[in-house]
Amino acid sequence: MLQRFGQVALLYALLLVEVALIPVAAAMIILSFAMGMVFFFPWQARMIRGVTQRHRRLLREWTDIEIEAPYLPKPPPPVPMADGLYRVDRTLYKSPRMPAWNDRFKWLLTDPATWRDSLWLVLDPIVKAGLLPLFVLFPARGLRLYALMIRLLLGATSASRLAFQLTKLKQARNLAADSQAAEMRRIERDLHDGTQARLVAIGMTLGAVEQLIDDNPVAAKALLAKTRDASAETLTELRTVIRGIHPPVLAERGLADAVRALAMDSPLRVTVDVELPNRLEPPVEAAAYFAISELLANAARHSEAESVAIDISTSGGALRVTVRDDGMGGADPAKGSGLTGIERRLAAFDGVLALNSPPGGPTVVTLDIPHVLPDQGDSAKLPAKKAATLGVLYATAWCPLFPQGLVAAILKIFHVDERSWFVALYLPEPLQWPMIVFNVTLGVMMYVVAMRIQVVHNRTVGLGRAGGPRAC
């Protein structure tokens, strides 16, 4: 209980910062747009965002209610043209500083969350003043209700989620294109340096056989035998290249058997444990297979490992692969160990790589690719905390909305001399209408928050079942 009161006290300490910031922010807006001093506007927006971000972080820590930041993605850095200049509309700049400032200004100005933050800055002192009795009597419930109200005003919107998702998709597309181009260059190099060179050598040998077949049949037969051996080696190399593109065992028998085949070919002692309810989509199988292949190669070449354990399982709708070796550790993506390439492969599927490789070992690499399998749990059911919050909101929202709000307003309008248990009517005359308005607003917001909880949960479940990426 004392901890909750301390948290409430910190919220009201931040209220003093907000009250002091309101006139400063208003003055900076006036200077920016009424007097042309536009350089004040980014400072003003960043100051308010700092306060809102602090509220989101604190309420997430105190109530476990996630309040996603609603801001649109930052603009990318300016890209110079072929002549090294930077263009903004019809103006050319030698330095990227001014184009970057212009992009940042437009980003802040056109982001709806910037103006929602400003609206919150004005309304939050009123909300905190109205919730003070609830904070004093039931601080835990007050904090949770306040967090839900903050999420309603400062949480992510559909537009910001879509914008973030679009940015991630563009990044994944660029990474996939880069990975594909690198893979094509590798295949071209392997064919040029290996298979093509051997085929040229075979052609030259057959030319020599043509010249010797009449004058020296014995030498011609010897050269033909060498040509036969060379063709067999060329076929082996060609099969190796084909396996590097897409192994036949992966296409025919799936990820589990393909990884077991990798384990058999590895010079290390490799154990494979696979628990998959069904086969994955071919692109996902290929990404996981080549990632495991790269990790096995790293363990054999760099870590001085003797054994490797591979575990392939599922977590909800996600594919999880853990590769653990008993080598010397110290793996670092910056050292060119192939981990960066793995991250690029996984990025196309919204996957992530986690590395734990202390000096001395062991090295543990975990790959997570979300939403590639149907979730086996009953995801449609609300979690216990959300269900309890929903029940509390629906059970209590009627009180401030109807008796303490609408009914009190009717009695006030018709001058009915009846106070009963209508709290607002016991206040001094100047405070009665503000209290009635606050009660009606509070009741409506409680109903809105309750409905939003259900809608957001249903939308999240629908995205998970459809196999789409989660909003960020």
The CATH number for 331's domain is 3.30.565.10
Q: What is the tens place of the pLDDT at every residue in 120-140?
A: 999 898 888 888 888 888 888
Torsion of CA 48, 52, 55, 60, to 10 degrees: -160
* 207 and 320 assigned to the same domain: no
* 231 and 312 assigned to the same domain: no
* 267 and 214 assigned to the same domain: no
| Residue ranges of E strands in 81-217 | 86-88, 91-93
Q: What is the mean pLDDT of residues 436-454?
A: 85
* 378, part of any domain: no
Residue 169 makes CB contacts below 8 A (sequence gap 6+) with: none
Q: Please say if the pLDDT value at position 177 is more than 70.
A: no
For residue 4, the model assigns a pLDDT of 86
Q: What is the tens place of the pLDDT at every residue in 388-423?
A: 888 888 888 888 888 888 888 888 887 888 777 788
* 360 and 262 assigned to the same domain: yes
Q: Please say if the pLDDT value at position 442 is more than 50.
A: yes
For residue 47, the model assigns a pLDDT of 93
Tokens at 297, concatenated: 């190669």
CA dist., res. 199 & res. 197, Å (int): 5
CB atoms near residue 142 (< 10 Å)? 21
* 9 and 146 assigned to the same domain: yes
Element (H, E) at 356: strand 352-356
* 97, part of any domain: no
Share of the chain above pLDDT 70, in %: 88
* 106, part of any domain: no
* 67 and 141 assigned to the same domain: yes
* 226 and 351 assigned to the same domain: no
Q: What is the mean pLDDT of residues 35-50?
A: 91
Q: What is the mean pLDDT of residues 377-393?
A: 73
Asked which of 125, 156, 187 is the last residue of a domain, the reply is 156
Q: Please say if the pLDDT value at position 18 is more than 60.
A: yes
Strand 269-274 relative to strand 91-93, pairing: unpaired
Domain total in the chain: 4
CA dihedral sign of residues 312, 314, 318, 324:
negative
* 440, part of any domain: yes
For residue 398, the model assigns a pLDDT of 83
Q: Measure CA 271 to chain center.
A: 32
Asked which of 156, 191, 210 is the last residue of a domain, the reply is 156
Tokens at 125, concatenated: 């002192």
CA dist., res. 271 & res. 103, Å (int): 53
Q: Which of 72, 157, 76 has the alpha carbon at shortest distance from 109? A: 72
* 278 and 326 assigned to the same domain: yes
* 104, part of any domain: no
CA dist., res. 424 & res. 420, Å (int): 11
* 414, part of any domain: yes
Asked which of 210, 245, 280 is the last residue of a domain, the reply is 245
* 59 and 141 assigned to the same domain: yes
**Residue 304 · residue 266 · CB < 8 Å:** no
Q: What is the tens place of the pLDDT at every residue in 287-333?
A: 888 889 889 888 888 888 899 999 999 887 789 999 999 988 888 77
Q: Please say if the pLDDT value at position 472 is more than 60.
A: no
For residue 470, the model assigns a pLDDT of 36
* 472, part of any domain: no
* 258 and 291 assigned to the same domain: yes
For residue 243, the model assigns a pLDDT of 60
CA dist., res. 453 & res. 472, Å (int): 17
Confidence of residue 181 (pLDDT cuts 50, 70, 90): low
For residue 235, the model assigns a pLDDT of 77
Which of 174-183, 252-261, 321-330 is least confident?
A: 174-183
Confidence of residue 58 (pLDDT cuts 50, 70, 90): very high
User: Which range of residues forms the domain containing residue 64?
Assistant: 2-72+111-156
* 286 and 204 assigned to the same domain: no
* 319 and 231 assigned to the same domain: no
Q: What is the mean pLDDT of residues 155-183?
A: 70
* 162, part of any domain: no
Q: What is the tens place of the pLDDT at every residue in 193-233?
A: 777 777 878 888 888 878 888 778 888 888 888 888 888 77
